[in-house]
Amino acid sequence: MNKTFLSLGAAMVAVALSVPAQADEWWPFGIESAVDGDLNNVVSVEYEPTDQASKAYNLCVLLPHLQDSYWVSVNYGLVEEAKRLGVKMVVYQAGGYSNLTNQLAQYDDCLAGGADAILIGAISEAGVAAKINEGMARDVVNIAVANPILDTPITARITPDFYQKGMQTGNYVKAYLGDTGGSAVAFPGPQGSGWAETYMEGFRDSLMEGSVTLLAEQFGEASVPAQLRLVEDSLQTYPELTVIWGGAPAAEAAVGATADAGRDDVTIISSYENQTMLNLVQNGKVLGFAAEYPVIMGRISVDLAVRALDGKDHASILLVAPGIVTTDNINEFDLEQIFAPEGFQPVFSVE
């Protein structure tokens, strides 16, 4: 992934978004688009969706899990946009990043069910590549949602700029600690997912200069129990550790683990958001997180699918520019673009 694009995401400040006039009017949304799919030619655009699908297409969605508010928020965006555009939708979740075989079987279910489009939050690109190739050969529209599909031919993708998120959070924690500096252990997420490695690359590169050093990289399943084991082990293995950086499950686990260890000197920062991160930033237990707008990614992925099915022009690569959310700027963000409404439960079918 090109490391120099996304000027919108280069500054460590939040981009204020206007509150939608109505619940279903979420546009325009500022986003980065690769012109003709060229990552060396990325421009900022104000995204506006189509008004209505020309027919009630059958959309099939594959998500890695619905274990946290991040993917629940993606689900909310998918479902609400399917309703707005007048298309049908079935949603499957694999049960976690260790369940690739489930996702492959669910892809087959989408094809067998006559899906016009498959929207996939891939457990790993390498793992699903053959299935995507099969779907594309059948002229099924394939859209990558949130998780990257970089090399496999696909209709379109909308993802965060993972590298910039890792870079920005690293730069932010360095600026926060100043000359005091620190020693970090990183918990980027599941190895093989693609996004975890790219987060890690950005964070690692951010520490090439400055007063924070990187002690270790600990990859693991994106769940709080799995991350808790890694964090607890690292607190024992690296007593000099003063910075914990990682995904939302790692940051959540770190709050409890550092408290239990009596380590109030540890700074915690998250590479992405969930509802728990919002609460922990608000009460000062987590320094901040890099927002990537899961609700919007769900919405735009449906719009991309409908545009492709209707034969309309559509972007092939869209990248969400991150913004660092902290206690100082949290009111500058439209949280309706990030989180599902309180009390929302996952929806698995839209008729």
Give me the half-sphere count of Cα atoms (radius 13 Å) on the Cβ side of residue 36.
2
Nearest alpha-carbon partner for 141 in 348, 345, 308, 330: 308
Does the structure show a pLDDT above 50 at 47?
A: yes
- The proportion of the chain whose per-residue pLDDT surpasses 70, expressed as a percent, equals 93
On whether the CB atoms of residues 262 and 288 are closer than 8 A, the answer is: no
- The conformational region for residue 86 under phi > 0 = left, psi -120 to 50 = alpha, else beta, is left
Residue 244 neighbours by CB distance under 10 Å: 30
Residue 24: pLDDT band by 50, 70, 90 thresholds? low
Residue intervals in the chain for CATH 3.40.50.2300: 7-160+292-321, 162-291
CATH node for 7-160+292-321: 3.40.50.2300
Alpha carbon distance 203, 109 (integer Å): 38
Query: pLDDT higher for 19 or 241?
Result: 241
- The conformational region for residue 104 under phi > 0 = left, psi -120 to 50 = alpha, else beta, is alpha
pLDDT of residue 22: 36
pLDDT of residue 331: 87
Most distant CA pair in the chain: distance in Å? Answer: 60
The CA dihedral of 325, 330, 335, 337, to the nearest 10 degrees, is -50
Alpha carbon distance 185, 345 (integer Å): 34
pLDDT of residue 15: 29
Average pLDDT, the chain: 92
Q: What is the mean pLDDT of residues 312-327?
A: 93
What is the number of residues in the chain?
351
pLDDT digits 0-9 by tens, 101-136: 999 999 999 999 999 999 999 999 999 999 999 999
Does the structure show a pLDDT above 70 at 39?
A: yes
Alpha carbon distance 79, 350 (integer Å): 7
pLDDT of residue 25: 87
Does the structure show a pLDDT above 60 at 10?
A: no
pLDDT digits 0-9 by tens, 183-210: 999 999 999 999 999 999 999 999 999 9
Q: Give the 3-state secondary structure of the chain.
A: CCCCCCHHHCCCCCCCCCCCCCCCCCCCEEEEEEHHHCCCCEEEEEECCCCCCCCCCEEEEEECCCCCHHHHHHHHHHHHHHHHHCCEEEEEECCCCCCHHHHHHHHHHHHHCCCCEEEECCCCHHHHHHHHHHHHHCCCEEEEECCCCCCCCCCEEEEECHHHHHHHHHHHHHHHHHHHCEEEEEECCCCCCCHHHHHHHHHHHHCCCCCEEEEEECCCCCCHHHHHHHHHHHHHHCCCCCEEEECHHHHHHHHHHHHHCCCCCCEEEECCCCHHHHHHHHCCCCCCEEECCHHHHHHHHHHHHHHHHCCCCCCCEEEECCEEECCCCHHHCCHHHCCCCCCCCCCCEEC
Does the structure show a pLDDT above 90 at 8?
A: no
pLDDT digits 0-9 by tens, 145-181: 999 999 999 999 999 999 999 999 999 999 999 999 9
Residue 286: pLDDT band by 50, 70, 90 thresholds? very high
Alpha carbon distance 269, 245 (integer Å): 5
pLDDT of residue 4: 30
Specify the CATH number for 162-291; select among 2.60.40.790, 1.10.10.10, 3.40.50.2300, 3.30.930.10.
3.40.50.2300
